[in-house]
Chains A and B, each alone.
Chain A
Amino acid sequence: MVGRFVMPAVVLLVLGAFVVSERVVQEQHDDGKIHVTYWEKWTGIEFDAIKRVVDEYNRSQDKIHVDLLSVSGIHNKTLMATAAGVPPDVAGLFGPNIAQYFHDRAVIPLDEMCAEAGITRDDYIPIYWDICTFEGTLYALPATPASTALHYNTRLYKEAGFTKPPETIEEMDAYAVKLTKKDSNGDIVQAGFMHQEPGWWNWGWGFVFGGELWDGESKITCDSPDNVRAFTWLQDYSRKYGTSKLQNFKSGFGAFASPQNAFMSEKVAMVLQGGWMGNFISQFKPDLQWAAAPFPYPKDKPELKGRTFADLDILVIPRGAKHPKEAFEFIKFVQSQKGMEMLCLGQTKHSPLAKSSPEFYAKHPNPYIRLFTDMPKNDSVVSPPKIAIWPEYSSELRNAFDEIFIELKDPQTVLARVRTRMQPALDRYLREKALRQGE
């Protein structure tokens, strides 16, 4: 009878599933090396680049083996693993994460180890070193950086009679008017400039006008005059070109990394983009005629000339890591000119190091790589605020963008509301911090 074998088979199946499910999460190694676990947020080509650096490191010596793992929601998972006392030895986080890690004392300071290894601020473009420091102490070291610039379509420029990129915001606004085309229904078929393309920095337009999001200590300043001015400026676009016309136009854009990308398919003549864009263009639309230049500045604020938005991926050693020394050895390798350039070339970004080799420039696929490397050296450079409530604050600001751009609400009112919401959140955080320190 078949029935007699069904039950044992089912039991075996379940047992088997149990055994396999346990093995999936177990790492086994008995090669006599010290194993350093490294969690990384990236997938795709960025992950491949990291993997190559890790492989190179593992080959370069025979004491330490780095086990690389791609982890989703890394910010959260690493914090939780740290809380549980089982963090990885190295975590590759986003720059803005560091604030919360610092406040939660979830990462260890690196000053001493850096001093020993002879790594100093002078080795880096200063902004990137500064992103890694908190109240004078270093808690991370750079992985790949990113800076942003205005990308513009030179063919459409020629068509409209422009020969050089706009210097000021006012000039760019005028360019945008000439570069916008509508069909007989009044629908937009080509846009000069669009804030929502790609829409990754919708919280950050204040920087263009010199706005700051907080005072660096205890005060939220998102409704400062400069910030309000920035949001009023972007709202003007929505009013001028029609909110629903812009929204409809945008919903026709194809996927970002495809020839249907709004900039590559010449639907939008000017976009704010990072140094990686050049790589995607050469991959998907090699015949596109384009150029990059520093993003324009407001006419009355020449001190903001050449301002770029600099962001950074960072490497940290979580508190409680089993092999902090060995973890630092690996991080040190990444900081070497060889390791860093290998990583940054792989991710088609510029190098955070103060000096890049001629080969790096020669091999780099982005023709404007020098621009992207030089802009962050400018005094006007900005980076995301190092504020512990950043996840909440940035979400609030993204929503403010929606309300101002789509619903055409008064920027002053909306931003003041963001401040009144976020100030208590910050106060609570600071209060908790003070309480904990008192303990």
Chain B
Amino acid sequence: MQKKSLKQHILIHTVLIALGLVFLLPLAWMVGTSLKTAVETGADPPTLLPATAQWQNYSDAISYGRDSVGYIPFFVYARNTLLFCILFVAGTVVSNSIVAYSFARLRWKGRDLAFAATLATMMIPFPVIMVPVFSLFVKMDWVGTFRPLWVPAWFGSAFSIFLLRQFFRTIPMELSEAAKLDGCSEWGIYSKVVMPLAKPAVAVVALFAFMAAWNDFLGPLVYLHSQDQFTLSLGLQFYRSQQLSQWHLLMAASTVVIAPVIVLFFFTQRLFIQGITATGLKG
């Protein structure tokens, strides 16, 4: 940004490295523990690193108790998480972009009022709607399926509508009008003109949706029945069931879980930050 003296550079790096170490420490602890033996995890005083790295912890963690029936099906959890994330992200992107298109680029009676109401719903805490939505899903006999987790995502959410609308408004109306003169339908303008230009904003909405699904604990806790359906966020609990505390395996499993996401973020962080910038949260 601004030109900086060498002194400032050094200062910034020092602060960032110091803070970074604090932020990294728990993660280092996680990776360190993932390579320990079960005995070492309870060592006193605690150690960051194991005497010898137990790489087999990783294969043990993802195939834990494979031979017995009560095993922890890591790959099943991973598959379920993936299913949930795909359906949730797809729903979020599709529904919200369509709705935001309407709010941003089409004129209809009551639009601004509806948009204000939409914004206001962001204030409604989840617990307010939790009970009735739950009893709704009970009546539909959807409890014990994935549907309660992802179907609502296909019907829009205030936060994503807001982000996308802000972005859609920055796309010049002339583009739409030109397309219309070429005989393009509204759907055509949305899918062929506006959406291709909105990639960064869509990426941001997709990232936030992904994180929400990835970290969702309450939803799976309430709606899913069996181990075969659990997602990673919930299933990891089993590595620390009351009688069997496999800390080293839990940490190995967690490392496996977050590694791909971290790599993904590392390579795309610039795009995301630009995407949020482009959506113009500034109002």
Contact = CB atoms under 8 A, between A and B. Distances in A.
Interface of A: 10, 13-14, 17-18, 20-22, 24-25, 39, 42-48, 51, 69-73, 77, 80-81, 83-86, 252, 254-260, 280
B87 A21 contact: yes
A260 B42 contact: yes
B61 to A, nearest CB: 16
A44 B241 contact: yes
B70 A44 contact: yes
A43 B141 contact: no
Contact of B242 (A17, A51, A256, A258): A256
Contact of A43 (B144, B225, B238): B238
Given A43-B227, A70-B226, 16 more contacts: A10-B90, A13-B86, A14-B86, A17-B86, A18-B87, A21-B145, A24-B229, A39-B225, A42-B70, A69-B225, A72-B227, A84-B141, A85-B141, A255-B247, A258-B39, A260-B39
A39 B230 CA distance: 15
B50 to A, nearest CB: 16
16 contacts: A21-B80, A21-B83, A24-B80, A24-B228, A25-B144, A25-B145, A45-B68, A47-B69, A47-B70, A69-B225, A69-B226, A71-B225, A72-B224, A73-B221, A86-B141, A258-B39
A211 B64 CA distance: 44
A257 B221 contact: no
Contacts of A17: 82-83, 86-87, 90
Contacts of B83: 17, 20-21, 24
B30 interface: no
Contacts of A258: 38-39, 42, 245
Nearest to A265: B42
B249 to A, nearest CB: 12
Nearest to B226: A69
B242 A80 contact: no
Interface of B: 38-39, 41-42, 44, 68-70, 79-80, 82-84, 86-87, 90, 138-139, 141, 143-146, 150, 221, 224-230, 234, 238, 241-245, 247
Contacts of B226: 69-72
B70 A21 contact: no
Given A24-B229, A84-B143, A255-B42, A48 B70 contact: yes
Given A73-B221, A256-B245, A260-B42, A81 B70 contact: no
A369 B143 CA distance: 41
B192 to A, nearest CB: 11
Contacts of B87: 14, 17-18, 21
B243 A256 contact: yes
A80 B143 contact: yes
A84 B42 contact: no
Nearest to A77: B225
A14 B90 contact: yes
A207 B143 CA distance: 39
Nearest to A280: B243
B68 A84 contact: no
A257 B87 CA distance: 39
A293 B44 CA distance: 32
Q: Which 6 A-B pairs have the closest CB atoms?
A: A255-B245, A254-B42, A47-B70, A260-B42, A17-B86, A21-B146
B243 A257 contact: yes
Nearest to B84: A21
Contact of B243 (A18, A39, A44, A80): A44
B41 to A, nearest CB: 8
Contacts of A47: 69-70
Nearest to B227: A70
Contacts of A69: 225-226, 228
A10 B94 CA distance: 12
Given A13-B86, A17-B83, A24-B228, A257 B143 contact: no
A84 B69 contact: no
A48 to B, nearest CB: 5
A52 B141 CA distance: 31
Contacts of B242: 256
A259 B243 contact: no
B144 A77 contact: yes
Contacts of A77: 143-144, 225
A25 B69 contact: no
A81 B144 contact: yes
B68 A24 contact: no
Contacts of B238: 43
A257 B245 contact: yes
Contact of B69 (A51, A81, A85): A51
A239 to B, nearest CB: 27
A46 B241 CA distance: 12
Contacts of B225: 39, 69, 71-72, 77
A20 B84 CA distance: 11
B229 to A, nearest CB: 6
A181 to B, nearest CB: 17
A81 B146 CA distance: 15
Nearest to B90: A14
Most A CB contacts (10 A, CB to CB) among B38, B70, B141 go to: B70
A84 B241 CA distance: 29
A206 B220 CA distance: 37
Given A25-B144, A80-B138, A48 B68 contact: yes
Contacts of B245: 255-258
Contacts of B144: 25, 77, 81
